[in-house]
Amino acid sequence: MRKTVYCRVFGYNADLTTQTNPAVTKSNVCETIGKCQSWSDVMVIRKKNVSIEEERHVRANDRGYNERFSYADNHIKTAKYNFYTFLPINLFEQFQRFANAYFLVLLILQLIPEISSLSWFTTIVPLALVLTITAVKDATDDYFRHKSDQQVNSRQSQVLSKGKMQNEKWKNVRVGDIVKLENNQFVAADLLLLSSSEPYGLCYIETAELDGETNLKVRQALTVTAELGADIVKLAEFNGEVVCEPPNNKLDRFTGTLYWKDNKYPLDNERMLLRGCVLRNTEWCFGMVIFAGLQTKLMQNCGRTKFKRTSIDKLMNTLVLWIFGFLICMGIILAIGNTIWEQKVGRHFWAYLQWNDLLSSAVFSGFLTFWSYVIILNTVVPISLYVSVEVLRLGHSYFINWDRKMYYSRRDTPAEARTTTLNEELGQVEFIFSDKTGTLTQNIMIFSKCSINGKTYGDVYDDFGHKVDITEKTPCVDFSFNPLMDRRFRFHDSSLVEAIKLEEPLVQDFFRLLALCHTVMPEERSEGELIYQAQSPDEGALVTAARNFGFVFRARTPETITLYEMGQPTTYQLLAILDFNNVRKRMSVIVRDPLGKLKLYSKGADTILFDRLDPSNEELMDTTSEHLNEFAGEGLRTLALAYKDLDEDMFDEWMKKILFASTVLENREERLGALYEEIEQGLMLLGATAIEDKLQEGVPDTISCLSLANIKIWVLTGDKLETAMNIGYSCNMLRDDMNEVFIISGYTTLEVQQELKNAKERIVGPSREKFSGGQDTEKPDMYASDSVFEETIIAEYALVINGHSLAHALEADLEHILLDVACLCKTVICCRVTPLQKAQVVDLVKRHKRAVTLAIGDGANDVSMIKTAHIGVGISGQEGMQAVLSSDYSFAQFRYLQRLLLVHGRWSYHRMCNFLCYFFYKNFAFTLVHFWFGFLCGFSAQTVYDQWFITLFNIVYTSLPVLAVGLFDQDVNEQYSMRYPSLYKPGQLNLLFNKRKFFACALQGVCTSFVLFFVPYGAFSCAVRDDGTHISDQQSFAVTIATSLVIVVSVQIGLDTNFWTAVNHFFIWGSLAIYFAILFAMNSDGIFRIFPSQFPFVGTARNTLNEKTVWLVILLTTVVCTMPVVAIRFLRTELQPTQTDKVRLLQQASRRQGPQEQNLRQVRRTSSRRSAYAFAHQQGYGELITSGKNMKVHVTSTSTFSASSPRRTHTSSGSMENVLGPEGDAHSVVAAAETPKPGVTGHTRLGGGNVPSLDAPNTD
């Protein structure tokens, strides 16, 4: 028996299979805790019960009854912390860093006087600083999450309470409440639609926040509840009980039953208004809350807020463990040395030291020495490293925020780094997962060009007849002759307006067809202020174009369509609508004009309409086909238009056949299809339209550039397959010269498996498929070798997979072959996917590919994948701010992603890697001097440097120069970073900082420490001062080594600097000056008088650095440490230059010539792919229009036809009366027909036909 365990406070589900109906077990609770958003959720669970909900019972207007089940309220929470949990949870997260835990242990050790040779404040101050900085950053991020939650929770909603409507905050809405929505309002919770202002309980919603689609969708209330209307008394008395499924994340499914007045009424998804939807074109509606807050389907699809860490962070955790192991080894070696020395030499001094018996033990002395050296050598990983890393990340974030080239002035939107922990990972991205609508596109359809009677319109030519590019400065056509024009419409070819004014018959018929052949619903709020509610942006663009060219669609009734043709009202009798469906790929209307002539107007895919043209159109068809090729080559969405004059007698006979075919029960679809074919023959071609699905500016160039950087871009969209593919062609992700485009559309696991295997075999060949086929279920390590094979695939392939197929492909036994095929393809497009599937695809790549993933989107339906990916980017676009609020980075345009990755990301990665390499080098060089000194001081844990130098070395003497490199260094400038995308590849391959690089830096540091110690040691063994005395005291030796160290690391940072600024010079020379100033100050008479016990060595620095021998030793040490590095780098650059070396040389050579702009060649797609609009178009509102169910009762003053014309009908697969049943209830179809079509309901089959529902991704 399948049950769902969920936390009733937070609403996160976990499937749990049980054989009976057990009580909640410990494992159930653990699984539920694992699904919670944060540790704060876990703490609350201890105080709350966890229950198993098999089905939900909700009673209207009865909070007392509903509260017995402890359903979640409408309060949402995306923040990680609250006031009480912030400190413990944040500290717990921070101490997950091994380094922080390591320094905490060191701090404890330093508090033990017997083993501590350094003061405890040298560790606790920087540790507290690191923890505080990180905590403040995390608290700031979470504050903005709380602020966003508060804003959403405080939205106002009208709730029926105590017999009247009252304003309530969203967070106070409860399950079972009756809520009133008004036009353009967001839905506050998942509601059961009860009634609306529209006839028959219909309402229109926009689901952009759920699936990214902005076309309107229809929902219909049950007939019995629709009768409640807006009567507050009746609504207050409504006490129906809904029994339904428990909370889940299925956006396209809902199963339930309404029990009311001793009757049962089935409920499905078409009765539901989901949270995140917007009510459109509907004055008001009432709904009953079924799911609230985190149990709504929108929130169920939002992933958990995760603590993201970069790959460098993870590597540093590993390196800290290794360094700690190295530190333990050095401590053991020195402890053993101390034990041996104490036994052979030191025991002679025990009597003079007056140690007790315990301390007189050589073994115990070695034990104490071990811990002393652990403390002394801890600076090999200084706490200042983590302070510096946080400062660098903060600086890199500000650079992104301050970048004016990522500022979008039209909406006053700058780029924003909403986190500071992921900047360097922006330079390592290999996979980008992008939404389509609002991310790649503006979701704006523009009537761009057309072909009428063999002549094209839309291009602009200069005085010499040459075509010129259309820009924002190109003058627009003057439509002032039309008082009903849409002022936002832009067209640049004035010859089309001239043709209209000259009343050319075919041009007028062209726009008359566009004004008549559609299912758009008009809304006139005031005289001349027309608003078109279209089922798709394409239809709206076509009708708007006809409106501006003088053929204004003004009004419609079930029987008529009223146009204003060049200012004159004209009413056409609507006799039939032959609507779009997935098979026909065309739409036709049959009308009678005011002169009584019968006309059939048709629009659709050219491949469909051309087969139905009259033979006399052959020459015009060839010309129009050439125009269509030209339009398609520019990535435009094309549609062919045709008409036909109908004979009265023939039409009457055809109508009789249609009426008969509409009533038969067997083969109804086939009979109707044959009759459509019959009347749509012998058409006369008018021309073609070309609509631009307007991409965001720079999208094709951005995608092309990112592809050159070896970044794979996958498109994950809720749109239909053809729509997604058309955008793929527009973006140049899909091209006609690709070897093959694989479309996976199977409905069963076996079908999907076979399609994927066939695709893989076509790509890699049968031999390799047979060899690797058995590896599909192996562990992911095998992909290391497969990734090499991917590079050898020269041919280009694309994979397009539907949502219902993806559901099967993501199963455990198929996910490997899906990933295999997808990674072998240059382009991957997943369409009709749910928000959860988007996250699953991202997670699939994260789990099986050692690659950094980035997800980018603009709507609430993208939040889940944004949270799942390593890096989430939100576009502040048309679909609200949900994606931005959940993202790590945000900006206004997709094209800024190129600069974010190739400039800021690459620089951040380069700077961080250089910083880490240098930091580990200088600290190994600094610390290991103590190790060499241990062999010469009886392993006594005596330090070479004085305590103040140890404290200040990383904080003062060397911190600023390395910060300058980490903040400002550039291997190449931003222009060359954009011009040569291949420079991005080292980050993907993790070449600049890895375990090998770390060992190289550590080895260089070890060698430097060896030179720093033994060169002065050897020189001082025989050197004398000017007065003949030996330079052999420890303090002079320490000053010499310390000075050599500071100079050597300063020279090294100079060698590591590629881009010198005034800041670099100031920090390097300033650090040296500060070192000498502090050195002389600490050895001065003045400070000795103030702190005699702390600074006893008066004059040591002055006496030592006055000696020429000392400076010669310092010079020799510096040369020996740095010259091998200079030689190796010179030889490597000359003999094996990297791509970066080559580009840097080009950059240096071009500086004399001044800056050069990159001239990117605009690539235009040449494609034979046309009519994407007709292929992607979905079922229209035909049945609703012709039935009149969606129209209020009114009379059009210009109508000249009887409203009861017997000739008018809708000729789809079934009449609206049959579908809605005698009472207008879609579910009455079961009673009206003995063989209902499975899964089809009247209010979704807007134009009839056995086609999938238009308003939700199919994930079956």
Other Cβ atoms closer than 10 A to 78: 22
d(CA 218, CA 1253): 11
Catalytic residue among 435, 820, 858, 946: 435
What is the CA 750 to chain-centroid distance, rounded? Answer: 31
> For residue 1160, what are the CA distances in angstroms to 7, 468, 700, 758, 1084?
54, 18, 11, 38, 64
- Going by C-alpha positions, the residue among 862, 865, 863 that lies closest to residue 853 is 865
State whether the Cα torsion 339-341-342-344 is positive or negative: positive
d(CA 1224, CA 1222): 6
Place of tokens 């020379």: 1069
Angle at 939 between CA 936 and CA 944, to 5 degrees: 60
Asked if 888 is an active-site residue, the reply is no
- Judged on CB neighbours under 10 Å (0-12, 13-18, 19+), 898 is buried
Angle at 113 between CA 109 and CA 114, to 5 degrees: 95
8-state DSSP, 838: H
d(CA 814, CA 377): 52
Contact partners, residue 619, CB within 8 Å, separation at least 6: none
CB-CB contact of 400 with 900 (8 Å) = yes
Other Cβ atoms closer than 10 A to 823: 21
d(CA 123, CA 1250): 73
Contact partners, residue 253, CB within 8 Å, separation at least 6: 268, 269
d(CA 274, CA 284): 16
d(CA 33, CA 7): 8
d(CA 279, CA 274): 11
State whether the Cα torsion 1091-1096-1099-1101 is positive or negative: negative
> For residue 32, what are the CA distances in angstroms to 907, 1005, 1084, 1157?
42, 49, 66, 56
d(CA 1167, CA 704): 17
Other Cβ atoms closer than 10 A to 694: 17
d(CA 443, CA 433): 19
Collapsing DSSP states into helix, strand and coil, what is residue 953?
A: helix
CB-CB contact of 171 with 74 (8 Å) = yes
Other Cβ atoms closer than 10 A to 1208: 22
Contacts 24+ apart (CB under 8 A), 656-662: 658/576, 658/1209, 658/1211, 659/1209, 662/1211, 662/1213, 662/1214, 662/1215, 662/1218
- Going by C-alpha positions, the residue among 297, 231, 302 that lies closest to residue 269 is 297
Helix axes 362-376, 906-934, angle to 10 degrees: 150
d(CA 718, CA 210): 9
Other Cβ atoms closer than 10 A to 473: 5
CB-CB contact of 939 with 975 (8 Å) = no
Which residues are known catalytic residues?
435
